[in-house]
Structure 1
Amino acid sequence: MKKLKHLFSHQRAKALAVFPALALMAGGAQAALPGVENPTRGTGNGLMATLQNYGYDIIMLLALAVCAVMFLGVSYHAYNVYGEVQTGRKTWGSFGATVGVGAILLVIGIWLLTSASGVL
């Protein structure tokens, strides 16, 4: 038991001796961070224009997220109707109507968000 205890304490001492050496060698492994990406509409003529262009990019990202949530909602509803068709509670016609109306709503939603981006 004493030999086992001595072995572990010896291994711990070696491990603790390695950490300061690694800390000294890590100084040469530092790299620079990447630069900030310019907005899609350019940097503008001043700070305010640049911030407005970043705001435009954020709004477009949120619009993309809204479209993704719309798609997930239509898909979830169509999946549920498909399950009800399989159990006999709904017909294939209601499934087709759900998919068709959902596709039309997606197209209208994407069109509205795209035309709203022109206002910005």
Structure 2
Amino acid sequence: MSIRTITKSLTGAAAMIMGLHPVIAAAALPGAQAPTRGEGTSWLQTIQNYGYDGFMLIGLFLLGGMMVGVASHAYGVYHDIHEGKKKWRDLGLTAVVGICLIGVGIFMVTKATGVL
């Protein structure tokens, strides 16, 4: 028997086993959960609470993007230091301004979700 025939046989056997035993292949997916503010007394409040969670998630992604942007810029400044284009104080200034921007971003997202 060639290796190709053996591989085909093993693949077919594995597919048959998985097909005969769907319990093995089935994933245990979690059920839907209530929003963080609770389900509310009406469907409108429940939708508003899911909207609140959605806006919190969007804010989290925006803050993550801000952090990646600050880190990317700091890495670029660090690279420029070794090429002689910038000085160490530029990296320190980048760190201070980046931390301030991230702090302001966290403050704004917190205030924006408080309005909801």
Point out where structure 1 has 5 or more consecutive residues left out of the alignment: none
Identity of paired residues, percent?
Answer: 40
The equivalent of 2:108 in structure 1 is 112
Task: Give runs of ≥4 in structure 1 deviating > 6 Å.
Answer: none
- Structure-2 residue corresponding to 1:66: 62
Pair 1:55 & 2:56 matched: no
**Aligned residue identity for 2:30:** P
Pair 94,48 (structure 1): closer, same or farther in 2 beyond 3 Å: same
Higher relative contact order (CA 8 A, sep 6+): 2
Q: Provide TM-score, normalisation by structure 1.
A: 0.75
How far residue 32 of structure 1 moved from its aligned partner, in angstroms, is: 7.3
CA RMSD of aligned residues (A): 2.6
Out of 92, 98, 103, the residue aligned to residue 96 of structure 1 is 92
Counterpart-to-counterpart distance in 1, 2:77 and 2:29: 50
Q: Secondary structure at the match of 1:118?
A: helix
Listed as ranges, the gaps of 5+ residues in structure 2 are none
